[in-house]
Amino acid sequence: RPSQEKGIISAFENIDLIEHLAAEKDRIEKTNEDLKSQIGERERVEEALRESEQRYGNLFDSISDFIYTHDMEGRFLTVNRATAQTLGYTSSELIGRSVSDFMLPKYRQAFRLQYLEQIKKKGFFTGVSRYVSSDGTHHYVEYRNILVQQDGNGPYVSGVGRDITERIEAEIEVGKLEQQ
């Protein structure tokens, strides 16, 4: 009789085990479905982000004004196509180089001592600067730069500029004519 009872108890234990395993299987299948749904949603979000970045990149490079960022030492972090083309380089050739590399040597110290210091103190700087492109052509650029400070990231400068060389040259020419 004890062996019969053991067999009966064992059968009940087997039924409990089977029910437990079935419940676990259902739980795992539900978790799997939830994970598949989350993965699908993440893939949709990542695709939307890629499309948004593509649209932003197209916009960034289609603007004819200069758009750029630089670090607190004056090294380019990003430049749009107009900035690179005007200076006669590719964007990747400009990244990491100092903005002052494209100035006449006599202005480089003022860039470091005045411009960079003022942007740190005031948080913005506007003005006109003269740059030299890779072919030696001079460009006057009117710019407005602001200091950007984000939580968790170091500060950087975000700027826009417009090539006003034709206007400056016309003003110089008018001045010469007036003197004559």
pLDDT digits (tens, 9 = 90+) for 80-108: 999 999 999 999 999 999 999 999 999 99
Q: Model confidence over 122-131: pLDDT tens digits?
A: 999 999 999 9
How far is it, in rounded angstroms, from Cα 43 to Cα 45?
A: 5
Please say whether the beta carbons of 172 and 160 come within 8 A.
no
Give CA separation, 146 vs 37, 115, 143, in Å: 43, 11, 10
CB-based contacts of 112, cutoff 8 Å, min separation 6:
74, 100
Backbone angles phi, psi at 70, to 5 degrees: -145, 160
Can you give the pTM of this predicted structure?
Answer: 0.72
* Arithmetic mean of pLDDT, 49-54: 92
pLDDT at position 17: 82
Structure tokens at 170: 């016309």
